[in-house]
Structures are given as C-alpha cells and as structure tokens.
Amino acid sequence: MPRLGGIEAGGTKFVCAAGRGPEDAEFTEFPTGAPEETIAQAVEFFRGREPVEAVGIASFGPIDRRPESPTYGYITSTPKSRWRNTDLAGTVCRALGVRVAFDTDVNAAAVAEWRWGSARGLHSFVYVTIGTGIGGGAVIDGRLLHGRMHSEMGHIRIPRDRVRDPFPGNCPYHGDCLEGVASAPAIEARWGKPAHLIPDGHAAWALEADYLALGIVSWACTLSLERVVLGGGVMQRGELFPKIRERVAQLLNGYLEPPDIVAAELGRRAGVLGAIALAADRLRTFGLAPHGSELGQLGSDEPASAASPEFK
Amino acid sequence: MPRLGGIEAGGTKFVCAAGRGPEDAEFTEFPTGAPEETIAQAVEFFRGREPVEAVGIASFGPIDRRPESPTYGYITSTPKSRWRNTDLAGTVCRALGVRVAFDTDVNAAAVAEWRWGSARGLHSFVYVTIGTGIGGGAVIDGRLLHGRMHSEMGHIRIPRDRVRDPFPGNCPYHGDCLEGVASAPAIEARWGKPAHLIPDGHAAWALEADYLALGIVSWACTLSLERVVLGGGVMQRGELFPKIRERVAQLLNGYLEPPDIVAAELGRRAGVLGAIALAADRLRTFGLAPHGSELGQLGSDEPASAASPEFK
C-alpha cells in the first residue's frame, strides 16, 4: 500500500493524517477557521513531510460529489456560512498536485470501520455516529452507498410519545427528526445538562435507546443489514448497547433477524483513517496501486468518463 | 435479446410470461394453489411453447437468495403455511433445464420499471407498491439493492397522531408499522369499507398521503433517491400523488431536494416483466447474452464462485 494522505474536514476541527493506516499514520489536528487559512494549514501538513500519492477528504456536508457537476468537490449548502460553496477538494488537489478522493465524514468513517474496525469482512452494514448530530454511512452489497447525493440518515422521522417526552426537538429543519431528539445537543436541551453529566440508569438513557432503536429498525428494513456500527460521543455510554439491542429485537418481533449492534472500534480517528482508505481506492480506480495490494472494494459510482476530475 | 421466461409467484395468483419484453410477451395467469400443482402449471406453460433461454422468478417472500445457502431459491418463513420452505427456483430449474434467476416480486418490479417504465435511465430510485401489503425494491448507484436478504420497506415505523387516527394498525408482526396503517387492508379496516369505495376528497386520502410521505422521507434520507415510483392498487387513486408530493416537500423542508414522485407505468405486469429482465441479467452474468444486446445493469451481488447454483 502506498503512502497516502487523509483530511477530515469537520465543522469545529480539521484532522490530517499521512501514512498507510492505523499502524503507521502520523496525525495532526487544528481548529476549523476561515476556509482559506484552514485549507492552507492542511496543505502545509503534507508539504512538510514525505510525499503522499493521493489524498482523501472526509468532509462535513452537504457536499457535491457528482463528478459531472461544476461544483464537484465543493462543500455546498452548509449552515456554516463561511464554508458555503467552498471548493475544498479542488483547492487541495491543485495545491498538492495529487489525486483527491472526496466523500462525507460519515461515509469515510464507515469505510475505515469496514477496513480496520468493527465491520471487517461484511457486505452490508451501516456506521452511524451519534454526537453533535446523527449521521450514517452505509456499505451495501460490498459497495459504499451514495445514491443521488449521500445518505442523511439522522433526518428520518420516528414515532414519538409526547407524554413521555414533550421535548419538541431541536433540528433547525425538521424539529423532531431523529437527530432533533437523540443527538447530544438534543439530550442536553431536554434534560438541562450535557449527556456526560447525566448518571447511569437515568431515564434519559432508556429514551435514547428507544429512539435509536426506532432509527435502526427503519435503516434495517430499508437496507437489509448484517450489522449496525454505532460511534460518536453519545455511544460512549455503554449501557445504551444492551438497551438498544433489546428494543430492536422487540420492534422487529421476529419478522426480520435483527442486525448485530456493536460499538465502533476506531473512535475519533475513524474519519481521517477513512479518508486514507478513500485515497487508496482513488489510486486503485486509476490502476496506479502497487500490484497485489489489497486496497478494498470501495465501489466508486463515478462513470468512467468522469473518473479523472481535474479540479480546474 | 434472447427469448426469456418470467414467473411472478404471488400469494393469490401466478403470472407467467414468455418473450423479450412488454412488446412481444405472451402472458398467462392462474390462482395460487398448493405448491406442487401450481409450480407444475407454470412449468407446463413454458413446455408448451418455443423454448426460453432462461427463466426469472419474482416471488412473494421472504425468500432465500444467498447463493451459498442450502435453501437458496426457497420461499422460507412465509405466513402462507403451505408454501413455507418451498424450493421454488430449484424445482423450476430442474423441470425446464435452464438458468433461473430468483428475486422478490418488488425487486423484479423495480427492475421492470427501470428497464421499460417510470425509472428508465436512473441511477437511484425506489419502486414501492401499496396494495395488500407495502413493499419496495431499490436500485441505488445503478444496482439492485439486496443487503443481507432484501428490503422490507413497508415495515418501517412512522410518527402517528393517535387523536387523528386511533386505528391501532393491522400488521400481525408490528401493529402500526407503515404497512399496518397504510396498506389496502388497513384502509378498509380503519374506514369500514374497501379503498375503492371511499370517495375522492375523503379524509382517508389526506391521511394516506401523510403516511406514505413519511415513509418516502425515511427512504429518501436513508438511500438518497432521485425518484420514487409508486404502484399497486391504492395508488390508482390519482389524488394521492399531489398530496404526497406536497407533504414530502413540507417534511424535508429544504434540507434535501425532494425526489420525484411518479406513478408506476407497467401496472400489473411489472412483476412478471421484471422476472424476464432478471432472466436476461442471469444470462449476462454467464456471458451467454448475444453480443451487443443491452441487458441492463442489474448488478448481481452473488460471489463469482457461487454464480452457477445448481439447484440440485
């Protein structure tokens, strides 16, 4: 496997990595400021080191990853106004002169868990992070799922009992979609304190498990999943896992075999490691990978004619 | 394109077709009786005609389509007890001595709409039928989605207002999953008369549109869809379409571009025509298709080593 670069572009911080995977990668991170300076800082990280053969970018979204689009490689309609319509992938590509892969942070994390973490060897699973938001990436039938744009799994609607939980939800677009009732900010807004200060055994965790179980049932019925890999800050609360498994089994009620429900293994490095895996796939697409290397089956949906976007 | 066969195995009737597509296919249909006699009747249809090069089967489910499984080609845990653990595909394969493709009725219908109907040229869409049940098939990134088994899209849970709709739902497994509140039997149970006898403008249709819109939002957020193709008896009610489109746009609220929402084109023939398309793909998988024929990109998820199940 060649030496590769990864950039996780997050709303609050950027993480950069250079290497071949979790064993040898060097990491750095810095706060997300204005686009020009922040991207320049990422570029400097790679310029100051042994060259990489390709760079993967795992970005907050929404992003444009349709190769035929004039804004391919851009962060598009994000609520973070400074970053709206930012040509992230193109800027990195031109500055470093290497191939660039571009996907969402959660798709990248799914790929990292697939390659090095809790989803090794699987054909059909989702990785879902529950933190400041709820987002998911799916690998189905051995390929990373994209569809028209990318999944927005956190924004599905779920049944709610307003007597048990009168909290109206805090998603600015949807109110009480899953993200609006079960993300870390929703937990804090409902209970008046941050999730990590809520004790074990509190009613918050039974409610959280019920909401996440309802989300898992929708994803499992739609995608037919072998496994659900759960990560993000909220899932540090270990008692959620048995509660979620029990509730998913109750909800499916024998109609479908419940998917395995497990913790993500790669933690905070999943996104940037996934970016490295995406970079590896980018090389594979062009046949530049060393013969015999096992670069994974990420499954590009890009048409062959657009396989070499120039970012110009 | 070679001459092909299709069998739609439904819970109440079987439909058989022989030909190359909607233009030239000959059809027959007969009630679903006991497995042995019913399958024999389908086999007779093909024996009495010019031979076909492969047969596709579009079956009610759940079915086993994992090529490595000892029950590959079987209808498995269906509530229709006579058909439980029936080797449908293997029996047809042995009787006719041709390659057999095997998938769900809704996956086959999705493929038919993709090839000849409302989803031509698309990369990512779902076909959903709303009738005696609710079921869907998805094509994502240009391939028919399977996952561990197959989608069961009708069994997602949706938010409900019990004041507006106290009906408890009639899904034997889940009560008020989407199928349990929005299928034709649910409409009949709630309003005390069959859907086709409920007049235009009745509150039933606003409620139905709201429920289907909630389902579409979950599928669109999970799969990232260009289009939703709606078929089945309930969707004969044309006023549902504008209501559903309006409600989906409200629910997504600008966060995602709503998918197109259109009527299926192939009607009651979608399943059996899809079976023919699956048969075409089966030949393509083996390189037996006539050179230059456009057999579509159905995207088999079957590993190469299992590409030739013997049904023995």
Residue A197: exposure state from Cβ atoms within 10 A (0-12, 13-18, ≥19) = exposed
Mean pLDDT for A162-191 is 97
Q: Which pair of structure tokens corresponds to residue B158?
A: 């949706």
Q: Which residue of B has its CA nearest to A159?
A: B159
Q: Which of A143, A149, A218, A227 to mutate against chain B (most B CBs within 10 Å)?
A: A218
Residue A305 predicted with pLDDT over 70:
no
**pLDDT attached to residue B81:** 86
Mean pLDDT for B248-259 is 96
Residue A303, preceding peptide bond in cis (omega within 30° of 0): no
Interface contact flag, B147 A221, Cβ < 8 Å:
no
- Closest CA of chain A from B299, distance in Å: 10
Is B159 at the interface with chain A, CB within 8 A?
Answer: yes
Q: Which residue of B has its CA nearest to A254?
A: B173
Q: Which pair of structure tokens corresponds to residue B227?
A: 């289009």
Is B155 at the interface with chain A, CB within 8 A?
Answer: yes
CB A60 within 8 A of CB A9: yes
Q: What are phi and psi for residue B24, nearest 5 degrees?
A: -120, 0
- What's the Cα-to-Cα distance from B40 to each of B15, B27, B61, B100, B277, rounded to whole Å? 13, 16, 20, 16, 22
**Facing residue for B124 by CB, picked from A148, A154, A225:** A148
pLDDT in tens, B97-155: 999 999 999 999 999 999 999 999 999 999 999 999 999 999 999 999 999 999 999 99
Is B124 at the interface with chain A, CB within 8 A?
Answer: yes
**pLDDT attached to residue B68:** 86
Single pTM value for the model:
0.90
Chain A positions in Cβ-Cβ contact with residue B155 (cut-off 8 Å) = 217, 221, 255-256
pLDDT range class, residue A62, cuts 50, 70, 90: confident
Residue A37 predicted with pLDDT over 60:
yes
Mean pLDDT for A176-199 is 98
Interface contact flag, A301 B123, Cβ < 8 Å:
yes
Residue B8: its H or E element: strand B4-9
**pLDDT attached to residue B288:** 36
**pLDDT attached to residue A30:** 98
Q: What is the DSSP string of B120-188?
A: TT-SSEEEEEESSSEEEEEEETTEE--TTS---GGG------TTT------BTTTBSSHHHHHSHHHHH
pLDDT in tens, A215-241: 999 999 999 999 999 999 999 999 999
pLDDT range class, residue B285, cuts 50, 70, 90: low
Interface contact flag, A256 B152, Cβ < 8 Å:
yes
Q: Which residue of B has its CA nearest to A299?
A: B141
Q: Which of B218, B228, B257, B297 to mutate against chain A (most A CBs within 10 Å)?
A: B218
Strand order in the sheet with B260-263: B143-144, B134-140, B125-130, B227-231, B260-263
**Spatial separation of the C-alpha atoms in residues A113 and A209, rounded to whole Å:** 22
**pLDDT attached to residue A79:** 75
Q: Which of A156, A161, A164, A252 to mutate against chain B (most B CBs within 10 Å)?
A: A156
**pLDDT attached to residue A286:** 56
**Spatial separation of the C-alpha atoms in residues A275 and A185, rounded to whole Å:** 26
Q: Which of A126, A145, A150 to mutate against chain B (most B CBs within 10 Å)?
A: A145
Residue A297 predicted with pLDDT over 50:
no
Q: What are phi and psi for residue B269, nearest 5 degrees?
A: -90, 0
Q: Which of B173, B212, B224 to mutate against chain A (most A CBs within 10 Å)?
A: B224
Is B212 at the interface with chain A, CB within 8 A?
Answer: no
Of A116, A17, A28, A25, residue with least CA distance to A58:
A17
Count of CA atoms in the C-beta half-sphere (13 A) of B249: 8
In chain B, which ranges are continuous DSSP H helix? 35-47, 88-96, 105-116, 178-182, 184-191, 203-223, 240-252, 270-285
pLDDT range class, residue B195, cuts 50, 70, 90: very high
| Contacting residues for B184 by C-beta, under 8 A, at least 6 apart | B130, B131, B132, B194, B195, B232, B233, B234
Interface contact flag, A143 B142, Cβ < 8 Å:
no
Q: Which pair of structure tokens corresponds to residue A293?
A: 């290397």
Residue A51 predicted with pLDDT over 50:
yes
C-beta neighbour count of B206 within 10 angstroms: 15
Q: Which residue has the tokens 């429920």?
A: B211
**Spatial separation of the C-alpha atoms in residues A154 and A142, rounded to whole Å:** 22
pLDDT range class, residue B1, cuts 50, 70, 90: confident
**Facing residue for A173 by CB, picked from B143, B153, B253:** B253
Interface contact flag, B149 A259, Cβ < 8 Å:
no
Query: Which long-range contacts (C-beta less than 8 Å, at least 24 apart) are formed by B162-171?
Result: B164/B207, B165/B190, B165/B207
Is B227 at the interface with chain A, CB within 8 A?
Answer: no
Helix (H, G, I), strand (E, B) or coil at B13: strand
**pLDDT attached to residue B262:** 98
CB A222 within 8 A of CB B218: yes
Tell me the average pLDDT of chain A. Answer: 90
Strands B54-59 and B99-104, how do they pair?
Answer: parallel
**pLDDT attached to residue A285:** 67
Interface subset of A 78-97, CB within 8 angstroms of B: none
Count A/B contacts: CB-CB distance under 8 Å: 151
Of B178, B264, B189, residue with least CA distance to B198:
B189
Is B263 at the interface with chain A, CB within 8 A?
Answer: no
Interface contact flag, A148 B259, Cβ < 8 Å:
yes
Chain B positions in Cβ-Cβ contact with residue A254 (cut-off 8 Å) = 173
**Spatial separation of the C-alpha atoms in residues A174 and B252, rounded to whole Å:** 7
**pLDDT attached to residue B286:** 56
Residue A281: its H or E element: helix A270-285
| Contacting residues for B21 by C-beta, under 8 A, at least 6 apart | B1, B115, B116, B273, B276, B277
Helix (H, G, I), strand (E, B) or coil at B80: coil
Question: Which of A17-26, B58-67, B229-238 shows the lowest mean pLDDT across its residues?
Answer: B58-67
**pLDDT attached to residue A291:** 30
Residue B295 predicted with pLDDT over 60:
no
Interface contact flag, B143 A141, Cβ < 8 Å:
yes
Residue A11: exposure state from Cβ atoms within 10 A (0-12, 13-18, ≥19) = middle
**pLDDT attached to residue B292:** 29
pLDDT in tens, A124-147: 999 999 999 999 999 999 999 999
**Facing residue for B301 by CB, picked from A142, A147, A154:** A142
Mean pLDDT for B63-85 is 89
Q: Which of B68, B123, B145, B261 to mutate against chain A (most A CBs within 10 Å)?
A: B145
Q: Which pair of structure tokens corresponds to residue A56?
A: 């993967």
Residue B301 predicted with pLDDT over 60:
no
Of B287, B268, B271, residue with least CA distance to B54:
B287
C-beta neighbour count of A191 within 10 angstroms: 16
Mean pLDDT for A175-195 is 98
Is A189 at the interface with chain B, CB within 8 A?
Answer: no
Chain A positions in Cβ-Cβ contact with residue B253 (cut-off 8 Å) = 173-174
Is A211 at the interface with chain B, CB within 8 A?
Answer: no
Chain A positions in Cβ-Cβ contact with residue B160 (cut-off 8 Å) = 159
**Facing residue for A222 by CB, picked from B173, B223, B253:** B223
Interface contact flag, A173 B138, Cβ < 8 Å:
no
Residue A264 predicted with pLDDT over 70:
yes
Sign of the alpha-carbon dihedral angle for A232, A112, B252, B195: negative
Of A129, A133, A90, A97, residue with least CA distance to A113:
A129
**Spatial separation of the C-alpha atoms in residues B265 and B116, rounded to whole Å:** 8
CB B7 within 8 A of CB B107: no
pLDDT in tens, B3-29: 999 999 998 999 999 999 999 999 999
**Spatial separation of the C-alpha atoms in residues B109 and B151, rounded to whole Å:** 13
**pLDDT attached to residue A288:** 36
Residue B309 predicted with pLDDT over 80:
no
Q: What are phi and psi for residue B80, nearest 5 degrees?
A: -75, 95
Complex ipTM: 0.90
Helix (H, G, I), strand (E, B) or coil at B302: coil
Helix (H, G, I), strand (E, B) or coil at A229: strand
Q: Which residue of A has its CA nearest to B159?
A: A159
Residue B299 predicted with pLDDT over 50:
no
- What's the Cα-to-Cα distance from B18 to each of A51, A92, B79, B272, rounded to whole Å? 60, 55, 29, 9
Strands A134-140 and A125-130, how do they pair?
Answer: antiparallel
Helix (H, G, I), strand (E, B) or coil at B54: strand
Residue A118 predicted with pLDDT over 70:
yes
Residue B168 predicted with pLDDT over 70:
yes
Mean pLDDT for A102-114 is 97
